[in-house]
């Protein structure tokens, strides 16, 4: 009986590892697929819309980002749904749903203030100015193709939490400890954004997201915080100019 139990547990662990590997591979393929697929997709957009190359470029980028993230997320959801115990990283009782939501909202503010501290450190020690080129590029794509907002605010955060918090952090925390797993996963999370001047900011975000997952034992906590952060940043970036003009007009009236 004991031998059967050991074999069964071993099979479950092996299945979890395969699921984690497949989710990671899907994410990597999604990230590099643009090298081969964006150009033919661009030609398809041009032929369907009749737009010249320059005008079709934002639509191509926006739609490709939205579709690639959506497909990768759907495939990941299918894989994880077939492995019911995939999310059982921690033993013991998980946090309740209301507290999970509450910690997700608190997590948004923790990440927001963590970024402020990180930005102050970057400025004081390294002389790095505020503003992320990666964020600016993504928002520029969203302005040209609003469909990309779905990938930025919804698909992207959920998929990244699957990969960096469950696959990388969740796998490491079972054999090491929170700090080792948290720092390693946060660094990978920072590197994948390819904004190396602000790598500290992204690392801080990744570490706080890992803390939220670790605290509640539910991936939805970090997903809520991540979605709220991306939504807030996107909203501010999209309406930065109208907001600035409104404030200027308000000052004139005063």
* Catalytic residue set: 160, 193
CA distances in angstroms from 27 to 38, 68, 91, 181, 192, listed in the order given: 17, 10, 27, 19, 11
**Coil, helix or strand at residue 231:** helix
Token couple for 247? 């404030």
Contacts of 172 (CB under 8 A, 6+ apart): 180, 181, 184, 185
Asked if 238 contacts 143 with a C-beta cutoff of 8 angstroms, the reply is yes
Query: Can you state the percent helix, strand and coil of the chain, rounding each to 5?
Result: 85, 0, 15
Cβ neighbours of 207 (radius 10 Å): 21
Instruction: List C-alpha distances in Å: 47 to 44, 166, 171, 249.
Output: 5, 41, 45, 44
């Amino acid at each position: 009986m004991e031998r059967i139990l050991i074999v069964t547990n071993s099979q479950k662990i092996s299945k979890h590892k395969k699921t984690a590997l497949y989710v990671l591979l899907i994410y990597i393929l999604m990230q590099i697929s643009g090298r081969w697929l964006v150009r033919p997709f661009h030609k398809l957009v041009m032929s369907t819309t009749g737009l010249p190359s320059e005008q079709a470029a934002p639509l191509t980028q926006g739609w490709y980002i939205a579709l690639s993230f959506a497909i990768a997320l759907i495939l990941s959801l299918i894989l994880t749904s077939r492995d019911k115990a995939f999310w059982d990283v921690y033993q013991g009782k998980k946090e309740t749903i209301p507290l999970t939501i509450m910690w997700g909202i608190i997590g948004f503010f923790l990440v927001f203030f963590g970024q402020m501290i990180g930005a102050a450190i970057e400025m004081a020690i390294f002389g790095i100015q505020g503003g992320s080129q990666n964020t600016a590029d993504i928002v520029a794509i969203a302005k040209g193709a609003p469909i990309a907002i779905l990938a930025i605010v919804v698909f992207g955060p959920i998929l990244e939490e699957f990969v960096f918090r469950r696959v990388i952090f969740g796998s490491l925390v079972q054999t090491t400890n929170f700090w080792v797993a948290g720092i390693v996963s946060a660094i990978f999370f920072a590197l994948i954004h390819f904004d190396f001047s602000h790598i500290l900011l992204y690392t801080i975000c990744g570490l706080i997201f890992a803390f939220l997952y670790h605290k509640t034992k539910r991936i939805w906590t970090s997903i809520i915080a991540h979605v709220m952060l991306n939504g807030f940043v996107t909203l501010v970036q999209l309406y930065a100019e109208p907001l600035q003009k409104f404030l200027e007009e308000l000052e004139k009236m005063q």
